[in-house]
Amino acid sequence: MEQENAKILNRGEEDEMELQGFRLSRWRLAVVGLAVLSTGGFLLLLLYWLPEWCVRSTCTRTTAQDAEVVLLRSTDEFRRWFLAKVRVILAPGRSPFHILDTQTTSPSSIPSPDTPTPATGKGPRHQTSQADPNQELIHRYGEYQPTQIRYFTHHSAKYYWNGEAQNFEVLTGLEDLQVSCSALHSEHSAGLSRNLQEYRRLFFGVNEIAVKVPSVFKLLIKEVLNPFYIFQLFSVILWAFEEYYYYAATIVFMSFISIATSLYTIKKQYITLRDMVAAHSIVRMSICRANNEIEEVISTDVVPGDVIVIPSNGTIMPCDAVLVTGTCIVNESMLTGESVPVTKTNLPNPVQGDRDAEKDSAFSTEEHKRHTLFCGTHVIQTRFYTGELVKAVVVRTGFSTAKGQLVRSILYPKPTDFKLYHDAYLFLLCLVGVAAIGFIYSIVLSVMKEVPIKEIILESLDIITITVPPALPAAMTAGIVYAQRRLKQIGIFCISPQRINICGQINLVCFDKTGTLTEDGLDMWGIHRVENGSFQLSEESAYKESLVKSQFVACMATCHSLTKIEGQLSGDPLDLKMLEAISWTLEEATEEETALHERIMPTVVRPPKELLPSEPAASPEMDMELSSMYEIGIVRQFPFSSALQRMSVVARRLGEKRMDAYLKGAPEVVASLCKKESVPEDFQEVLEEYTKKGFRVIALAHRRLESKLTWHRVQNVNRDHVEANMEFLGLIIMQNKLKAETPAVLQDLHRANIRTVMVTGDNMLTAISVARDCGMIPPQDKIIIADALAPRDGQTAKINWRYADKPGKMPRLEEVVISLEDICHMDEAKSAQQQFHFAMSGKSFDIIMEHFPDMMQKLVLHGTVFARMAPDQKTQLIEALQGVDYYVGMCGDGANDCGALKRAHSGISLSELEASVASPFTSRTPNISCVPNLIREGRAALITSFCVFKFMALYSMIQYISVTLLYSILSNLGDFQFLFIDIAIILFLVFTMSLNPAWKELVPRPPPSGLISAPLLFSVLTQILICLAFQVLPFLWVQQQPWYEQWTPLSNACNTSASTSTHSMTNISSFEVDPDYISNYENTSIFYVSSFQYIIVAIIFSKGKPFRQPSYKNWPFMLSALTLYVFMLFVLFHPIEAMDDFFKIVCVPFSWRIKLFLIVLANAAVSVFVETFILDVVLSKLVFSRDKQTSYGYAPAAMTQQVGIDHWGMKCLSWLCCQRNAAPKARYMHLAQELRVDPDWPPRPTTTTEAKPCPEKDYPMICSS
C-alpha cells in the first residue's frame, strides 16, 4: 500500500527519490514527547539519527497533495532518508508562466505546461502597459482569488505541487516550457513587465546562489550529536561516578581537540565556498521591459524570461541566458576548466515557411550551449550591430544554473561508499555483542556474590566502555591526517580526506588524453593538399609564396575562432598554431569603427608582406588590381560544435563580389559534406596512415557561395545550407607528443595489476595509436573496434566488430554482426587464450548503453580506448565500471572532466582552476606521476587504518579479558593501572604507529578492502585467543604457587630481608583496607602480562612492506615501544615501593617474576609466529590469494616471480580451508570467469556473421551464413 502511494521525484536522474506524504498527528506527538521525557532524551537522539522513525512515529500517512511533511528516500545504493516540511504560498496563478490577465477567468484559460505561454508582453499586456503602473497593479490584483501553492525545499531546490502531474516537480526555468528556438525569438525576446517579473519571483525566488555558513553553535550541535561523541559522553559520565577522573579528562580533551579541528575545517570550507560563489555574483544589469524601456536592476532581481543587455566591456554572468542578438567572447574556465576564450553566437531563428523550419527544435542549454552564456562565466567582450544591443533571454537562475548545480554537488555530496566503513560498523556491532555478554556475566556474578546494587550497575556499564573503546574515532583519524600531510608535501591537495583510504583500493584508472597523457599544445607536422581529387605530396609547411593565395591557406587563415583581447591573440591552441604556421595577421574592428558603419565590421586577416609578389598577380581565382591589398574579411562564423565535430566561416576577399565558405573539422565529417569527386579515392588509407602514427588530423574544405547571398542574408542563413557541396582541400597534420613521464607511470601501474583506460574526445585511431605508444596496449595485443549502429528501417540495433590493425581492408571477411536478440546466447566451451582490448566511440557507447546493457558490462571488462567521448559519456563510463565492482580512479586536466572526476572513487585533477573545486584531489605536478603516488599513499593509509582498528580491537579485548578474569574474584584493575594502559601505552602507540610512510613502489598484490576478510579476521581472532590463553595461564598458575594466599596488607610473599620486614611491619598501620580489592596477586600478575601484550600486538600489527615502510624507520613508534618495554621490565624486575603503591601492585617473589617474564616471551614468540609465518607466508599465499585480479581476465605486463611452493600442499590447504570452489566477490571477476569458457568471446572477425532471428523465440542465437 505504501509503495503504491509513493511518488517518484526526478525520475531517471542522478538525484531520483521516492516521496511519501504525512500529516502531523497531535496524539502521536504527545506520546512521543512523554517517551522522550521518560528515556531522558535518548529517544530524541534516536529520532534525530533516524528521520524515517521520527516521521512515522509523529505523523500519519496521507496523499502527497495533502501532505504537511514529506519523507524522501534516495533510490541509489545508499537509500538515504530525508524529511522536509511542506509550505504554502498565495499566488495569482498556479504556474510561473501563467498569464496574469486571465487570472480572473475560468480555469480553462490557464495554459498547460505543454503549451508555450507567451511571456513577452504581447497581446493584452501591450494595451495596458501604457497606463499608469499603480492603476495597472490595482486592475490586475484587485479581484483575483489567490491560489494556494504547495512546495518544499530539499538540498537548495524547491519542489512545487503540479496538479496535472499529481506530483511535486522542480522548476528550473524557461526550459520547463519546452519552448522552441523560434518561439524564444518571437515570444520571449521583448522582456517582462514589472508585475510579471514580481509574479515569477514568487516561484523562482531571488537569483542568488546562497551558501549559508552555519553558525559555530549549529555546527557544534551537529558534530556533538554524532553517535561516537554521545558514547564518549556516556563513558565520561560513567567514569566520573567511578572517580576515574584522569582518563575521563583525557578523553574530554581529545574530543575537544577533535571537535574544534573539525569545526574549524568545516567552517573554513563553507567560507571558502561562499567567497568563491559570492565573487562577482551580484552585479548591476540592464534589462529590457515589455514596453521597450531599458532599466537598471540588481542581478538578484532577474527571473527566467527577463531580457538582459550584455555590456560591451563584458561582465560576470549572474544567471544562465541564451543570446538572441549579437556575439560574445566568453571565458568558461569556471565550468570547463579551459581558460581558452569561446565565441558564443546568437540562437538561430528558423523562420516559419522556410525549408529549415522543420528543424526548429525545443531549446536546451545542453544542445544549444554554443549560444548559451552560463552563470559564473566571464563575458570578455561583445560584438554588435549599430543601433542593436547584445541581448540574452534569462533561462535559469539561482541553484538551477550550471554554476548552482556545481555548488549543490559540493554542498550535498553523495556519501563515500567504501567497504571499510561498513565493515567497521559490523565489527563494532560484534564488540557490542561481546560487551553484552560481559555485561550479563558481571551482573549475574555480582548478584551471586551479593555485591551492592550501585557497584553492580557501575561495573556492568564499565564493561561496555572497555569493549567499545571511546578513543577509536581519534585513533582512526590519525592515519588519514598523517597521509593528508604527506600528500601535501608531494604537491597533492585533498578536500575529501576520507577518500584517501579509498585510493588504496583503486584497481582501474581512467585517463584523459590531451593535456594528461600528452602535452597540452599541438605542433604543426605538415600539410597534405588535394588538387583535382587526388593527394599531392605531403609538405612540411604552408608558409610558401606559391601557396599564399591558395584556398587551402585561406581556409587556415579564416576558419578559426581566434579573437584579440587587449591586443593579444587568444583562442583554441590548435587555431593559434594553425595561424602561427602561416604567419598571417588578424585585425578586428574597434568599437568606434563599428559605430561609424551601418553594419558590423568584419574581422580581417592578411598574409605577411614578404610572401606577396611585388606586382599584381594574374590568377584566375582573383579579381584584384593590387596584390599588396590582399586581405580576407570574416563575415559570419559558425562556431565549433563537439556534436557536429566541425566549424565553418563565411568570408569575402577584398575586391570580390561573391563570398566563400570555409570548413574545418574531423576528416570523416568534412569528407561526408564534400562532393564525392573532390575526395581522393585513397582518402581512408591516407587518413588511417596518419592516425595510426598518433597524429591529430584536421580536414579542410571550401565552397564558392551564390552571388545572391548578400551580407544581410548571410547573417540569417542556416548552417546546413552553407556546409554542403564543399570542395575537399586536404589535411592538416598536427603532432601531439606524449609527456615524458607517461610511459614509465603506466608501466608502474601495469606492474601493480592496475588497469588503465583512455577516455578522450579525440579521434579513435589517434587514441589507439597513443595507447600503443605509451604502453597502455602492448604491441602484441589485438584491438577490436566496436561500431554500434542504432535501429533503423525496422532493423534492430547491431554491433560491427573489426580489428584496428586492418580496418576496412577486408570488410566482408573481417566483420561480425551481433544483433540485439543475440546478446543472451553464450555457450561455455573453451577459454580465450589471446589478450585483446576493445575500443569504441562515444556514439557507439551511447547505442550499446541503450540497446545492449548486458553487453556493456562485458565490454568494459576489456575496454581500453573510448574515443570521441562527451563529458556526460565520461561520467556514464565511470558508473559502468563501478557497476562491475571496479574501484575507479579518474585523472584529467579539468577540461570537461568535472563530472567524471566527481563520480569516480578517486578523482585527481591536474588543473588548479576553479573547475577542480569538486575534485577530491588536485595535483600541482602537471603530469600523471601523481597517480601512483596517490595510490601508494592510499594503500599505506588503508593498511594503517586496518592496523589501528585491529590494535584498538585487541586493546579492548585484552582489557576485557583482564577485567572479566578479575571480576570472578570481585577484583578489578586500579584507576592508575587503567590510566597507564589507556594513556601511556595505548595513546602513545596508536598515534605513532600511524606514522609509517608509504612503500616506495606499487606491488601487484592489492590490500584487503574490508575488515570482514579472511586474513584480517584470522589475525584478530588468533591474537585474541593467544592473549586469552596467556592471561588465563598466570591467573590460574599464581593460585597454585606455594606462597599464594589471599592477599592482605600483612602478606609477605617476597621473602625480603629482616630490615625490610621490620620497615614493612612498622608501616602496616599506615595501610588502609582496600575496599575494591584491587591489590592482590592475580591483579599484579595480569597487569604485568597484559601490559606487555599491548606492546606485542602493536608491534606485530604495525606491518611494513609491501604497503608501508618498515616500522624500524618509524622512529617515534620504535622509541615509544622501546621506552615502554624498558619501563615495564624495570617495574617487573626492580620494584620500587612508591611505584608499587601508585599502581596498587603487590610484591611477589623474584622466581614468579622470572616465570611472568618467560610467559611474556612465550606470548611474543607465539604471536609473532602466527602473524608472520602462519598468516603472511602460509595462508596468505596458499589460501587467501584466490581473489587476485590476475586470475580473472587481466594479466599484468610483467609478473613478479612467486616463491616456489609445493603444488599439492597448496591444494591440500585450499581443501582444508573450504576454498575449492569459492566464487569471486567482485562482479568483474565473476564475468571474467564466465567469459573465459565462452566459445563466442571475444568476437572473432574471421567470418561474415549476420544476425538472424532463430525459430525458438526464447533462445535466440547467432546464425551464421
User: Which residues are identified as catalytic?
Assistant: 512
Whole-angstrom distance, CA of residue 1061 vs CA of residue 752: 68
Cell 532599466 sits at which residue? Answer: 295
In DSSP terms, 647 is beta-bridged to 664
Instruction: Please give the grid coordinates belonging to residue 434.
Output: 561481546
Instruction: Please report, as a single letter, which amino acid is at residue 981.
Output: I
Other C-beta atoms closer than 10 Å to the C-beta of 402 total: 21
Cα 1085-1125-992 angle, rounded to 5 deg: 120
Asked if residue 192 lies in contact with residue 200, where contact means CB atoms within 8 angstroms, the answer is yes
Contact (CB, 8 A) for 712 and 761: no
Q: Is 1265 exposed, middle or buried (0-12, 13-18, 19+ CB in 10 A)?
A: exposed
Contacts of 684 (CB under 8 A, 6+ apart): 808
d(CA 1229, CA 124): 68
Q: How far apart are CA 183 and CA 769, in angstroms?
A: 47
- Measured CA to CA, the distance from residue 399 to residue 408 in angstroms comes to 7
First to last CA, the chain: 53
Helix (H) / strand (E) containing 165: none
- Choose among 1078, 962, 971, 960: nearest CA to 449: 971
152/21 Cα distance (integer angstroms): 12
The residues with which 307 forms a beta bridge, in sequence order, are 288, 393
Q: 555485591: which residue's cell?
A: 451
- Spell 157-180 as b/e; 16+ CB within 10 A means b: bbbbbeeeeebbbbbbbbbbbebb
Tally of CA atoms within 13 A in the half-sphere of 39 that contains its CB = 13
Written as nine digits, the cell of 919 is 575534485
| Grid cell in block for residue 233 | 559522553
Least Cα distance to 345 among 213, 468, 463, 181 occurs for: 181
Paired residues of 633 in beta bridges: 604, 652
1175 DSSP assignment: I
* Grid cell 520571449 in the structure block, residue: 188
Rounded to a whole number of angstroms, the CA Rg of the chain reads 38
Interatomic CA distance for residues 390 and 379, integer angstroms:
12
* Contact criterion met (CB below 8 Å) for 880 and 855: no
Q: Is the peptide bond before 1106 cis (omega within 30 degrees of 0)?
A: yes
Which one-letter amino acid corresponds to residue 439?
F
Residue 967 to residue 447: CA distance in whole angstroms: 12
d(CA 1163, CA 1158): 8
The candidate with the shortest Cα–Cα distance to 1146, out of 1010, 1045, 1252, 1006, is: 1045
Q: Which of these, 981, 980, 994, lies nearest to 949 by C-alpha position?
A: 994
> 3-class DSSP state for residue 138?
helix
DSSP assignment of 471-528 equals: THHHHHHHHHHHHHHHHHHTTEEES-TTHHHHHTT--EEEE-IIIIIB-SS-EEEEEE
